Structure 1
Amino acid sequence: MSLDKILSIGGKPGLFKLLTQTRSGFVAESLLDGKKVTVGMTNNVSVLSEIAIFTLEEELPLKAVFNKIKEKENGGKTSIGHKEDKIKLEEYFFEVVPNYDEDRVYPSDIKKVIQWYNLLHQHGITDFEPEESPEEGEEK
């Protein structure tokens, strides 16, 4: 499953898997407890494939950050929990993304990235590359 189908819903903990669209929104399933929720168009929803982390040069897509964590951890879960103190979180994130913008990436953002990575890993979602459409794979 790609990050195009994984959502973060404002005010709700964890991540959600998009199941289906409805007339007034969509239905999603929590990766934390498996419960299904109906989400209206007024909710603040972010698709993980659209999220990026600020660096000093550019915005780094979240999938690239997840890939760097995966590489650092040799495909396993993070060596640090998302509930660690601010200094430990920042040190860990600096090892993963050495040029992240410390003024615009807050400790709460780092906590979310670590928590989301571990949650995705727990559910076997470890391929963070976008699924190629047939046109992209062909040579022109």
Structure 2
Amino acid sequence: MEFNKIIAVTGKPGLYQVVSQSKNAIIVEALADKKRLAINTTQNVSLLENIAIYTYEEEVPLLKVFKIIADKTAGKEALSHKENGKKLETFFTEILPDYDEERVYTSNIKKVIQWFNILIKAGLDFSKIEATATEKIEEEVESENK
């Protein structure tokens, strides 16, 4: 399973892996039950690798957030996304202390934790995922500036 092929589809629960593409649809497989379906090109689809979380200084890629959660939970599932808002916010503050509380809502935190747990159940090992080329360049620039 490749992280850069994992998508979220607006209006559909869970996460999906892109299997194939046709002219007017994307064939995806649900990570939870492995059922395949066609997603019409008119539906809103988000690649997880293109999603970032707002902090007060920058936008942190979702993969980086997932890796921090994986380190904290030792590669196991995090707390349930159904916990109360205060517990979720406290957990997220431990993960990303400088997240922008005005732009990152509790519903966003729930979604991140839910997605993380789905990916862990599906067997994704965050320690083995390489950063994308742009993330590698950004990291090199940051280390040069220090």
Please give the TM-score of this superposition, normalised by the length of structure 1.
Answer: 0.89
User: What RMSD, in angstroms, separates the aligned Cα atoms of the two structures?
Assistant: 1.5
User: Which residue does the alignment assign to 1:117?
Assistant: 116
Task: Quote the Cα distance in structure 1 between the aligned partners of 2:132 and 2:85.
Answer: 35
Q: Any conservation in 2 of the 1:10–1:44 contact (CA below 8 Å)?
A: yes
Residues 2, 130 of structure 1: 8 Å contact kept: no
**How many residues get paired?**
132
Partners of 1:37 and 1:106 lie apart in 2 by 30
1:96 maps to a residue whose letter is I
| Consecutive unaligned residues in structure 1, runs of 5 or more | none
Q: Distance between the aligned counterparts of 2:115 and 2:62, measured in 1?
A: 10
Tell me which amino acid in the other structure corresponds to 1:46.
Answer: S
The 5-angstrom pairing of residues 10-25 of structure 1 reads 10-25=10-25
Question: 1 CA distance for matches of 2:86 and 2:55?
Answer: 18
> Which residue of the partner structure matches residue 88 of structure 2?
89
> What percent of counterpart residues are identical?
45
Distance in 2 separating the partners of 1:66 and 1:22 = 30
Q: Name the amino acid aligned to 1:57.
A: E
Q: CA deviation at 1:86?
A: 0.6
Poorly superposed stretches of 4+, deviation over 3 Å? none
Normalising by structure 2, we get a TM-score of 0.86
